[in-house]
Amino acid sequence: MLFLMRFSRHALTRLFCRGGVRRLFGASSMVWVAICSPWHAAWAKNGPVRGVSTQNAIAQNGAKRLQACTTCHGAGEAATVGRSANEMYFPRIAGKPAAYLYNQLLHFRDGRRHYGLMVGLVEHQSDAALQDMARYFAQLDLPYPEPQPLAAGMTQTQLLRGRQLALRGDARVALPACVSCHGAALLGVEPAMPGLLGLPRDYIAGQIGAWQTGMRRAFAPDCMAQVAKKLSPEDVSAVAAWLSMQIVPAASRAEPAPLSSARSRTASLNHVSKPVRSSSAAGASVQPTAATLTCAE
């Protein structure tokens, strides 16, 4: 709980960028650019950021039109829009970064994620329709429910292991910490990196497992696939348990996109799936193809 607040991003960077680990997931902004850009590209190519009046329209019109989503992603019988029922499997979608939600809808429609109900719902929807769905849920600002109670049989050692993986990673296997991509407060980073708090334990474990087996894929470079394959089954349950029992602070939105990604965002509007990666501090832009982009930098 307070552990998160103690570790400023700067402190984490120093903790993290030691020795060989620096090469893997240094907290430099360039890496954020490299990682975030592919997902942002898919989002950005479909249109500019909308103005306030359109945002209001989205909020007004979405509620009824998108009630299809709340029987699963809402909470309990009242189905408050966007709240996740932690005792179930379905993840929270309210307040998640819009590009992340949009990408997941694309993945379900185009075969990179497999969940029968979701596939059946989105399989004949256009990109624009999916974008509107994503925008609607991204602009919701709803309180988080109480965290899940501790799983039976979970020991303090396992929880400490989960905390270590989340905050510091595992240098022995060159495993980056969750905070290195998902935000210092684990609440996500705009535009396309989701938060990890307030999710059901089984959902987190299920998704990591899906990445391990290839049942879930992301746009190239699929960094989570590499990360997931380094986790043992005990690690997966430890980190899922620790994440799911964290209390989410009251004001909890995803971090804004890192500063240097402004250039990448502009470039991404023009070049689909060719994210910019600054190759030097001077900022000379290179335009690699997606195939040459890697998670390590």
Query: Is residue 265 within 8 Å of 38, Cβ to Cβ?
Result: no
Q: What is the DSSP string of 16-36?
A: H--TTHHHHH---HHHHHHHH
Confirm if 130 and 137 have CB atoms less than 8 A apart. Answer: no
Nearer to other proteins, 87 or 146 (CB): 87
Using the rule CB under 8 A, which residue among 122, 179, 204, 243 binds other proteins?
122
In the set 132, 190, 235, 297, which binds other proteins (CB under 8 A)?
132
Report which of 203, 188, 253 is spatially closest to residue 85, judged by C-alpha positions: 203
Location of structure tokens 């402004």: 262
Of 161 and 201, nearer to other proteins (C-beta) is 201
Query: Using the rule CB under 8 A, is 18 a contact of other proteins?
Result: no
Rounded Cα–Cα distance for residues 41 and 18 (Å): 31
Residue 121 or 225 having the CB closest to other proteins: 121
- Can you say whether the dihedral through the CA atoms of 6, 178, 250, 248 is positive or negative? negative
The interface region with other proteins, picked from 19-27, 65-73, 164-172, 288-296 by CB under 8 A, is 65-73
17-25, 32-40, 112-120, 263-271 -> range binding other proteins (CB under 8 A): 112-120
Does residue 172 touch other proteins according to CB under 8 A?
A: no
- Pick the piece of the chain touching other proteins (CB under 8 A) from 67-75, 150-158, 222-230, 264-272: 67-75
Distance CA 268, CA 279 (A): 16
Q: Mention every residue, 6+ apart, whose C-beta is less than 8 A from residue 231.
A: 165, 175, 208, 212, 239
**Closest separation in Å from C-beta 92 to other proteins:** 17
Q: Is 123 in the site for other proteins (CB under 8 A)?
A: yes
Which residues are at the interface with other proteins (CB under 8 A)?
57, 60-61, 64-72, 88, 110-112, 116-117, 119-126, 128-129, 132
